[in-house]
């Protein structure tokens, strides 16, 4: 007498499975590898402070302070991007992505004179995205999701790393070539790496004033780096995406 009670649930489950299977595209998976340019902007400045000699017959330091600030000139490096996604509906997919920058030399100049060239900046990012995609032979993908970005400053007397979490987004335009996949141009803007509080101050040489490790001119450190609290990482790449 219970046979009739099982028919509606079974039919419902069958309809749901059939609908999901029908919604998934014929080739739902894609994997891509891309190479191009990365932009790493830290807003970094190299500060040098020096004090005048004390006046003759005086035991206190001179009052005048010479402070020079040298800003980051170059912000572009190479970048490699790898991604993998699954299309669960005609126009929708989920995707994971990794981006790695090359090492960016960070020279600082006084006019044409190089005053510091031992620092290198690099970044990497990882994210999980929801993707809207449209088109067939020519197609585009718009993605948005949550990611983590790490930016590192190293070399010589410098060794620091900064991490940030937040919104990441991007856009790809592609053209299918052959039966394996297509060529894509991709722009990505990743979550900011963050230097909280005193983390954006990197002392290279301590001063002799009242606050020898402070990132302030005058009574602070003699040489130090100062970075933005939020540091940007973005990429523009070209690559091949395999669709299967």
| pLDDT digit string, tens, across residues 15-34 | 333 444 447 888 899 999 99
* CATH numbers and ranges of domains, the chain: 26-51+64-243 (2.40.160.20)
Q: How far is CA 84 from CA 34, 110, 140, 189, in A?
A: 12, 45, 15, 18
Q: According to the model, what pLDDT value does residue 73 have?
A: 62
Residue with tokens 């912000």: 75
Tell me if 104 sits within 8 A of 40, measured CB to CB. Answer: yes
Spatial separation of the C-alpha atoms in residues 190 and 230, rounded to whole Å: 12
Percentage of the chain exceeding pLDDT 90: 50
- As a whole number of angstroms, the distance between CA 45 and CA 163 comes to 19
CB atoms near residue 105 (< 10 Å): 13
Residues pairing with 95 in the sheet: 85, 129
Among 86-100, 102-116, 219-233, top mean pLDDT goes to 86-100
Least confident range of 89-93, 158-162, 187-191, 204-208: 204-208
Q: Has residue 62 got a pLDDT over 60?
A: no
Tokens of 8: 């509606």
pLDDT band at residue 51 using 50, 70 and 90 as cut-offs: low
**Sequence-separated (6 or more) residues with CB below 8 Å from residue 12:** none
Q: Is the pLDDT of residue 171 over 70?
A: yes
Which pLDDT score is estimated for 219?
A: 65
Residues 6+ apart with CB under 8 A from 119: 44, 105, 106, 153, 154, 155, 156, 158, 225
Structure tokens at 191: 């979550």
- 55 near 89, Cβ under 8 Å? no
Q: Please return the burial class of 55, using the count of CB atoms within 10 Å of its CB with bins 0-12, 13-18 and 19+.
A: exposed
Q: How confident is the model at residue 113 (pLDDT cuts 50, 70, 90)?
A: confident
Number of C-beta neighbours around residue 98 at 10 A: 14
């Amino acid at each position: 007498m219970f046979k009739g009670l099982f028919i509606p649930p079974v039919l419902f489950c069958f309809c749901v499975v059939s609908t999901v299977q029908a919604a998934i595209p014929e080739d739902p998976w894609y994997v891509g590898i891309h190479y191009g340019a990365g932009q790493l902007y830290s807003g970094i400045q190299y500060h040098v402070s020096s004090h005048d000699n004390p006046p003759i017959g005086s035991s206190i330091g001179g009052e005048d302070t010479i402070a020079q600030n040298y800003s980051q000139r170059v912000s572009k490096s190479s970048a490699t991007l790898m991604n993998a996604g699954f299309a669960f509906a005609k126009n929708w997919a989920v995707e994971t992505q990794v981006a790695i920058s090359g090492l960016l030399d960070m020279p600082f100049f006084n006019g044409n004179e190089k005053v510091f060239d031992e620092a290198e900046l690099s970044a990497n990012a990882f994210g999980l995205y929801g993707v809207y995609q449209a088109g067939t032979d020519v197609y585009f993908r718009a993605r948005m999701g949550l990611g983590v970005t790490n930016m590192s400053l190293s070399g010589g007397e410098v060794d620091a790393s900064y991490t940030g979490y937040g919104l990441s987004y991007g856009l790809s335009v592609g053209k299918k070539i052959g039966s394996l996949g297509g060529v894509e141009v991709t722009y990505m803007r990743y979550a900011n790496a963050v230097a909280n509080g005193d983390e954006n101050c990197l002392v290279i040489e301590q001063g002799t004033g009242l606050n020898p490790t402070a990132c302030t001119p005058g009574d602070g450190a003699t040489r130090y780096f100062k970075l933005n609290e939020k540091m940007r990482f973005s990429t523009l790449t070209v690559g091949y995406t395999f669709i299967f």
